[in-house]
Chains A and B, each alone.
Chain A
Amino acid sequence: MNNKSMKSQKKTDKLSKYKPEDLASSIVFPGPENENESRLELVSQYRKEWESKRTPKDRLISQLLQLKFQIEEVIRSDKYDKEKHFGYFLKEYISCLEKKNKEFAEEVDVDPTELSLFINRRRDPPEKFIIRLEIHSNKNFPAIMWYKLIEKEKEYKLMYNNDIRASEYGHVKGKLRISI
């Protein structure tokens, strides 16, 4: 018996006391390495068949879920990706709906120029705009989620904006002389 099959035998012994239903609730075993291609072919075929049956509604739901989870991930993450800002996700939201900016601006009653400023990070969106986004998305994208996204960006800017620190230094006449 070679090393690998000994390990495998040990594994089987350890698990033999459990019922299959218990193992299915606890373990996923690695599949045999020599069948990778045929298994991937199965996935590929399933994907093709599934794709052919997808309705536009299925696609939209999937895209919106993707967008929502991506936003949540940015909010949750300790890291900050400068590219994943409010404007980026707003643009993605509009794109999921296959709408032009002008058409979307009309639907949420903002000037198209103002919408463009939000998308391109030239202006922070006011509260009323993110509430309109919540209403527009039928509460699927709550205002609080958009708010947290904006806050995340502000937090990053506040922490790493050295220019503003340098310029504000001159306005502070006295400061604590102790560190805690």
Chain B
Amino acid sequence: MFVNEVQTGNLIEVEVVEIEEKDFEFLSEKDSQFKVFVWKEYKGKEVYKLRLKDSKAILGLMHIVDHLNPNIDAIEIKLLEVRNDNIGKSKKYDFITGCLIAFACRMSFIREHNGFLFLIPKTSLIKHYSQNYGLEYIPPFGPNKTGIMIVNEKLAYRLIKQFLNE
């Protein structure tokens, strides 16, 4: 699995592993570069980190929930955050989110959910999740409610091939 170093175009090897206890301390420090969510609140939950294989520097975090109910039978990405120096135009590495979503798709196959995955989008981001990763938007039943963005088995395999090279 690789991320793209934007300035050089080089592909840099990364890996996704389960978060460790010590990471929560580092993520809680004042100068932590993960400032959007309070990750220590997710201690004990299923959280993964994407890190550079060489330096072990963390570039992205993701919290997933496994919906075992046979009617749902999918993995939900509850939360995802990329290190703040990789957001926006001046980002250092690209593909971090793609790799994390593809990792969750692969996990969905491994856990026998046939690759199905969903997340709850902010309204302003729907179009972009769709453009960037191909996620399909399912509108809500009623007004003032949120829809979902879903990955089906075919898209899941496409994302895995694209971002995990498998």
Residues of B contacting A25 in the complex (Cβ-Cβ under 8 angstroms)? 82, 87, 94, 97, 128, 132
Residues of B within 8 A of A30 (CB): 37, 78-79, 120
B72, A47: Cβ atoms closer than 8 Å: yes
* Contact present for B125 and A22 (CB under 8 Å): no
Q: Is the CB of B115 within 8 A of A62?
A: yes
- Cα(A19)–Cα(B115), bound, Å: 30
Q: By the criterion CB–CB under 8 Å, are B87 and A35 in contact? A: no
Contact call A24/B132, Cβ cutoff below 8 A: yes
Q: Is the CB of A58 within 8 A of B87?
A: no
Say yes or no for A9: interface residue by CB 8 A criterion.
no
Query: What does the 1/0 interface line of A138-149 toward B look like (CB < 8 Å)?
Result: 000000000000
- The residues of A that contact B74 with a CB separation of less than 8 Å are 43, 47
Q: Are A28 and B118 interface neighbours, CB within 8 A?
A: no
Chain A residues proximal to chain B, CB less than 8 Å: 7, 11, 14-15, 17-32, 35, 38-44, 46-48, 50, 58, 61-62, 65-66, 69-70, 72-73
A-B contact pairs, 19 of them (CB 8 A): A20-B127, A24-B131, A25-B94, A26-B87, A26-B97, A28-B62, A28-B77, A28-B81, A28-B119, A28-B120, A29-B120, A31-B120, A32-B146, A38-B141, A43-B67, A46-B138, A58-B154, A69-B166, A72-B166
- Give the interface of B toward A (CB within 8 A): 35-38, 62, 67, 69, 71-74, 77-82, 86-89, 94, 96-97, 106, 109-110, 112, 114-116, 118-120, 122, 124-125, 127-129, 131-132, 138, 140-142, 145-148, 150, 152-154, 157, 166
